[in-house]
Amino acid sequence: MAEADLVFEVRKSDWRETRFVERPLPDLEPGQVLFRVDRFAVTANNISYALTGDALGYWRFFPCAEGFGRIPVMGFADVVRSTHADVHEGTRCFGFYPMARHLVITPGLVSASQIVDAAPHRAGLAPAYAQYLPASGDASYAVAREDQLMLMRGLFMTSFLADDFLADQDYRGARAVLISSASSKTSIALAYQVRQGGKTRAIGLTSARNEAFVRGLGFYDQVVLYEEISSLAVEPAVFVDMAGNSAVTGAVHRHFGDQLAYDCSIGATHWSAERLREELPGPKSEFFFAPAQIVKRTRDWGGSGLTGRMALAWTGFCEASDAWLKVVRGHGREALAQVFQKTLAGRTEPADGHVLSLFEGRSGE
Ligand SMILES: NC(=O)c1ccc[n+]([C@@H]2O[C@H](COP(=O)([O-])OP(=O)(O)OC[C@H]3O[C@@H](n4cnc5c(N)ncnc54)[C@H](OP(=O)(O)O)[C@@H]3O)[C@@H](O)[C@H]2O)c1
């Protein structure tokens, strides 16, 4: 195979500076697998991986030259070469890939439902961060749903677990869940789950730019602009923060005061907003750690009980999202560079789900 590899990298100190690196495909050592990355999704969540790359280990997924980093993305890839006895050519897997044409992994655990990369640079990461799911052993897989899986599966899982975590505590008596960056896919998934539960209301907080989209979704009981938070009725509420914008957080805390039962931090879409350090009324913000809820529910429901519930909820969310999600395909360097810069700057359309491939032409269609 004369195909060369191509990989997209960002400067760690300034992600606006990006580059493409070309290199020959490596020869496999015994027990390795070469993936051809068919296509992958890029959303604001991937920008958060750069933001927390050192703290949470994202830069360790796919190491590269000093000063640069390869941001992980969720995608589908096919095994095109294998020197591992249990992993066969043609196996199609969902998982974390670099924005690249290829990836070499060194499988440790291999079963019908997972192939785990045991490469030393990934040691110590959360198990889900090194897992590749063969389509043939994946209860949530459907060929017609590949784009949604890449774009929203991980985000939906987080929101499913966050809603479950709050519902398990009766939403701490809240009559409303306030959700920032209401136009983000993770927030939309959370609003969907809150509404499915029917125990409390979902209130979306968003920017003027995305207001019409959020209203049009019909997933939120109420939608307000960031500048109009003080117009909300003061009632027992919990705040789930996807924006990480201290001006928005401050407005919520000052307005709801001790009626705010809980502040749950999940995202930081407004990553470039000024960080204000001020004492706020109400509860201290707590980071939502999804793996802890997975451990709890695996204990309560068993592993298959949890995956079964999640797969069922995911199917419902996928179907409900057909009405708003517009998959936008892009191919090649220029398309990726453009989508990356737009995502970084928050200039993508909220309905758009960008799915990219570094192969020119119509790969994956
Ligand atoms: N902790 C976890 O386990 C976990 C898991 C999944 C997702 N998350 C987080 O959830 C957040 C949402 O991710 P997503 O992939 O769902 O996002 P997305 O769909 O790409 O969301 C795009 C929205 O985010 C806001 N935004 C994005 N970039 C911005 C910028 N530069 N400046 C201002 N606003 C910007 C805008 O919403 P508004 O105008 O409505 O503010 C925009 O419509 C991310 O921060 C992600 O890390 C966390």
| 168 and 287 assigned to the same domain | yes
Would the CA dihedral through 302, 317, 56, 242 be positive or negative? negative
| 256 and 335 assigned to the same domain | no
Q: Let me know: does 118 contact 108? Beta carbons within 8 Å.
A: yes
Q: What is the pLDDT of residue 276?
A: 82
Site to substitute for ligand 1 among 165, 181, 344, most atoms within 8 A of C-beta: 181
| 131 and 244 assigned to the same domain | no
Site to substitute for ligand 1 among 43, 45, 156, 325, most atoms within 8 A of C-beta: 45
Assigned domain for 69 exists: yes
The percentage of residues in the chain with a pLDDT greater than 90, rounded to a whole number, is 90
- Mean per-residue pLDDT, 169-187: 98
Which two three-digit tokens encode residue 330?
Answer: 């892009």
Q: Let me know: does 38 contact 18? Beta carbons within 8 Å.
A: no
| 218 and 134 assigned to the same domain | no
Q: What is the pLDDT of residue 277?
A: 83
Which residues span the domain enclosing 119? Answer: 4-138+326-357
Maximum alpha-carbon separation in the chain: 64
| 162 and 287 assigned to the same domain | yes
Domain closes at, from 249, 274, 292:
292
Residues in the chain: 365
Domain closes at, from 277, 292, 307:
292
Which two three-digit tokens encode residue 203?
Answer: 């209130």
| 8 and 129 assigned to the same domain | yes
Question: Is pLDDT at 362 greater than 80 in this prediction?
Answer: no
CA pair distance 95, 133, nearest whole angstrom: 6
Residue 129 DSSP one-character state: G
pLDDT (tens digit per residue) in 63-120: 999 999 999 999 999 999 999 999 999 999 999 999 999 999 999 999 999 999 999 9
Collapsed DSSP state (helix, strand, coil) of residue 14: strand
pLDDT (tens digit per residue) in 248-306: 999 999 999 999 999 999 999 999 998 888 899 999 999 998 988 999 999 999 988 99
Assigned domain for 115 exists: yes
**Buried b / exposed e across 216-226, counting CB within 10 Å, b at 16+?**
ebebbeebbbb
| 126 and 252 assigned to the same domain | no
| 272 and 341 assigned to the same domain | no
- Mean per-residue pLDDT, 44-54: 95
C-alpha of residue 86 to centroid of ligand 1, in Å: 38
Q: Regarding beta strands 326-331 and 352-357, do their DSSP bridges make them parallel or antiparallel, or are they unpaired? A: parallel
Question: Is pLDDT at 363 greater than 50 in this prediction?
Answer: no
Scanning the chain, the segments in alpha helix (DSSP H) are 44-51, 146-167, 185-197, 211-217, 246-256, 290-301, 303-321, 332-345
Domain of residue 226, CATH code: 3.40.50.720
| 203 and 159 assigned to the same domain | yes
What is the domain count for the chain? Answer: 2
The percentage of residues in the chain with a pLDDT greater than 70, rounded to a whole number, is 98
pLDDT (tens digit per residue) in 214-225: 999 999 999 999
Assigned domain for 304 exists: no
Assigned domain for 30 exists: yes
Assigned domain for 302 exists: no
| 166 and 100 assigned to the same domain | no
| 25 and 113 assigned to the same domain | yes
- In Å, how far are 110, 299, 312 from 306, measured between CA atoms? 21, 9, 10
* Nearest CA owner, ligand 1 atom 6: 155
* Cα dihedral value 254, 244, 352, 164, nearest 10: -80
pLDDT (tens digit per residue) in 292-315: 899 999 999 998 899 899 999 999
Question: Is pLDDT at 364 greater than 70 in this prediction?
Answer: no
Assigned domain for 312 exists: no
Would the CA dihedral through 334, 351, 355, 64 be positive or negative? positive
| 239 and 338 assigned to the same domain | no
pTM of the predicted model as reported, rounded to 2 decimal places: 0.96
Q: Regarding beta strands 131-134 and 92-98, do their DSSP bridges make them parallel or antiparallel, or are they unpaired? A: antiparallel
Q: What is the pLDDT of residue 291?
A: 84
Domain of residue 57, CATH code: 3.90.180.10
- Mean per-residue pLDDT, 9-27: 96
Q: Let me know: does 358 contact 101? Beta carbons within 8 Å.
A: yes
pLDDT (tens digit per residue) in 316-336: 999 999 999 999 999 999 999
- Ligand 1 is surrounded, with C-beta below 6 A, by 43-45, 48, 155, 158, 181-186, 206-207, 209-210, 242-243, 266-270, 272, 290, 345-346, 350
Assigned domain for 319 exists: no
